[in-house]
Amino acid sequence: MTPLAELLPAGGRVAFGDGAGAPLELWASVRQLVQERADVQLLLGWWFSAPPGVADLPPERTRALISGFGMRRPIDAGQVGFVPARYGSIPALLRTVLKPDLLVAAVTPVPGGYAFTTESSWMRAAISAGARVAAVVRHDAPCCDVEEPLPADQVVVLVESDGKPDTLAAAMPTDAQHAVAANVASLVPEGARVQVGPGGLGGAVYAALRVPVVVDTGLVTDPVVDLDRRGLLLGQPIAPYVAGTELLYDWAPGRVQMSGVEVTHDPSRLRHGLPLFAVNTGIEIDLDGQVNAEVAGGSWAGGVGGQPDYAAAAAASPTGLSIFALATANAGRPTLVRSLNGPVTTPSHDVDVVVTDRGIADLRGLSRPERRAALSRLWGSDAP
């Protein structure tokens, strides 16, 4: 019996940590455990690349909390079941229908015990729900965790490692994305809190900002370092994940306020305080202003993630804005459609302003016919 098997009760569920610091050193053991014991269920987050051998696991017992990145192909192939949940609801799921018995995670030693390294994500919620911690201890990993250390007696150390988090190079924005970002930046006032999604458009938005802002987002990436170097970063960025290159990992400890999703995605925290400007994107938007950010060409390009959490909070934030930013066309096809080709990730009532490379449509206070007319004018001859 492997050490992992000894820690897991009959009919138990293993939750495997995600993000740049995913505990890859224990993946082969977890995969073997799921293959050998028909009573074991597996819960995954997101990875930069597909987990090796995930196709060999039983899909009915393997669940992912988010698509995109490395989980896209396994979900498309039906090898992993995708749970369409917004990030803010994950702590509730972990206390009920997805309650884990064991959390496999990467940690680093700190005074008083252990801390998470480049992601707190949903892992503290799993611990609060009663999961034991089986850990890879990484002695040289950056530590961005600002919450109370995990007591040493609550962590079962299975592997000692010199491993470091995976790196993720910043995507290069297209000309159209730069044009979109310039229009977005014109809406953001000095001193606002800004949430920006990852990817080329997100990087372009950071680069386009010309006023100091607070970063309150789901994933801190390399462009935040550049924002700091330009003197436009106020306070400490708040996020559940840090993912990027060595430049970011050297910069982030002591600067990023990394907490779990039960803190970062808390709707009350998000909608109060400084005005929140949530800048999200999608694969397509329909004439009513509903956004599909999940399915492109039948493939699960993204998950629900935190988009609806931030959008709803920004729409409710006094003097804040829920902004949806996307180019008017993608691969030659208009991004404004009559009917979505995928699920509704964010409903129309949480979309305040739509920004494209051609301009801005402010939908606040408009009737549905007026919203459809405003979006049609923004897309012009490309409107359906």
Structure-token pair, residue 273: 């305080």
Can you tell me the distance from the alpha carbon of 53 to that of 192, in angstroms, rounded to the nearest whole number?
44
CB 139 within 8 A of CB 115: no
Predicted pLDDT at 1: 43
Torsion of CA 210, 375, 87, 58, to 10 degrees: -130
- The CATH class, in words, for 175-382 is alpha beta
**Could you tell me which residues are beta bridge partners of residue 354?**
324, 361
Predicted pLDDT at 2: 61
CA atoms within 13 A of residue 245's CA, in its CB half-sphere? 9
First to last CA, the chain: 60
Whole-number Cα distances in Å, 9 to 12, 36, 52, 91, 244: 5, 14, 25, 22, 36
- The CATH class, in words, for 10-161 is alpha beta
Parts of the chain belonging to CATH 3.40.1080.10:
10-161, 175-382
3-state secondary structure 214-243: EEECCEECHHHHHHHHCCCECCCCEECEEC
Question: Per residue of the chain (384 residues), what is the pLDDT tens digit?
Answer: 468 889 999 999 999 999 999 999 999 999 999 999 999 999 999 988 888 999 899 999 999 998 878 889 999 999 999 999 999 999 999 999 999 999 999 999 999 999 999 999 999 999 999 999 999 999 999 999 999 999 999 999 999 999 899 998 888 999 999 999 999 999 999 999 999 998 999 999 999 999 999 999 999 999 999 999 999 999 999 999 999 999 999 999 999 999 999 999 999 999 999 999 999 999 999 999 999 999 998 899 888 999 999 999 999 999 999 999 999 999 889 999 999 999 999 999 999 999 999 999 999 999 999 999 999 999 999 999
Structure-token pair, residue 1: 């019996």
Predicted pLDDT at 59: 93
CB 301 within 8 A of CB 72: yes
Can you tell me the distance from the alpha carbon of 378 to that of 359, in angstroms, rounded to the nearest whole number?
7
pTM value? 0.96
